[in-house]
Amino acid sequence: MAEGPMRGLRILELMSGMEQPVSLRAVAARVGLSQSQTFRILKLLEEDGYVDHLGRSGYRLGSRAVALSFLLGPRPTLLRVVQPVVARLAATTAESAAMHLRSGANRVLVAGIPKPNSPLRETVALGERAPLTSGCGGLVILAHLPAEQQEAILTAQPATERYPSRETLSRIREQGHALSFGENHPGVWGIAVALLDPTDGTPLGSLTVASLEEQLAETRMSLFSGLMHAAGHELAPRLAALLGPHSRGRLSALDVTVQQLLHTEPIGERDV
């Protein structure tokens, strides 16, 4: 477990994926620290407003942590790059489309267009986090990671959980896409391609198309592969320019200054 400030960040990240309020014991077990160590970190986070302590009910993310999540993303610049590509993919396939970003051993849904009048509208939940070892959107990222990173993620999986074999990951990398058959959402099938940094092939995230099982046969999913690769080749360089390890892009500040508040021009004429 990382030392110092990283422990606090890790606790905030893990709590965001847990039902809240959450007990001290549950947080400690998830983060891999003793209850006394976890308590001290939570106390510091509480003092700065990142965590609320609700007595015997446990802990929940505080308003400062929630506000920070809006400042960090999805940034307006990122959405302007991603949303048109995801929307076009959804329209072309007539199915639900989404984009995930890698977050350590997980991936997070940052943009999604659900199929109109489909029950899948309830499954496209922005901010949803899932492990890279489950679902096509995660597996295709995992398959393109360097071998040592794959190994670290796979060996960290609990013995009671299923995880993909090395042969499966090798096959996904070779064919260029991953398929899923209800691993994350029962009755939902999907296909995903990786979004690779063109500089060095680093997987930044994935594009996914999904539908109900009875509406999306495996042969039809495979037909989407070409469309998705085309969308991925369009989006990946733009994404890498903003977020990749070799990015030189600039992200606009989201703070509103007093001077901006004093502007008298109509709000529709400003970049909001």
Decide: residue 39, CB within 10 A, 0-12 exposed, 13-18 middle, 19+ buried.
middle
Under 8 Å between Cβ of 219 and 167: no
Tens of pLDDT along 134-169?
899 999 999 999 999 999 999 887 766 677 888 999
pLDDT at 254 over 70: no
Tens of pLDDT along 13-24?
888 878 889 999
pLDDT top residue among 147 and 270: 147
Point out which residues pair with 100 in neighbouring strands. Answer: 109, 206
Percent of the chain clearing pLDDT 70 (strictly above): 81
Under 8 Å between Cβ of 256 and 222: no
Q: Report in angstroms the alpha-carbon separations of 114 from 90, 93, 97, 106, 262.
A: 8, 12, 6, 22, 39
pLDDT at 111 over 60: yes
The per-residue pLDDT for 137 is: 94
Return the closest-CA partner of residue 102 out of 126, 131, 72: 131
pLDDT at 270 over 60: no
Average model confidence (pLDDT) across the chain: 83
The per-residue pLDDT for 185 is: 75
User: Mean per-residue pLDDT for 97-121?
Assistant: 84
User: Mean per-residue pLDDT for 240-250?
Assistant: 73
Map out the domains of the chain with their CATH numbers. 5-70 (1.10.10.10), 73-243 (3.30.450.40)
How many CA atoms within 13 Å lie on the side-chain side of 178?
Answer: 31
User: Mean per-residue pLDDT for 42-66?
Assistant: 91
The per-residue pLDDT for 120 is: 61
The per-residue pLDDT for 268 is: 44
Least confident of 51-65, 83-97, 122-136: 122-136
The per-residue pLDDT for 235 is: 94
Return the closest-CA partner of residue 116 out of 137, 90, 89: 90
pLDDT class of 72 with cuts at 50, 70, 90 = confident
Least confident of 179-188, 217-226, 255-264: 255-264
What is residue 188's three-state secondary structure? strand
User: Mean per-residue pLDDT for 194-207?
Assistant: 93
**Which amino acid type is present at position 102?**
R
* 187 phi, psi to nearest 5 deg: 85, 0
The per-residue pLDDT for 264 is: 46
Least confident of 152-161, 205-214, 223-232, 235-244: 152-161
Residue partners of 15: CB distance under 8 A and separation at least 6: 22, 27, 51, 59, 60, 61
pLDDT top residue among 94 and 185: 94
The per-residue pLDDT for 16 is: 84
Least confident of 32-46, 96-110, 182-196, 241-255: 241-255
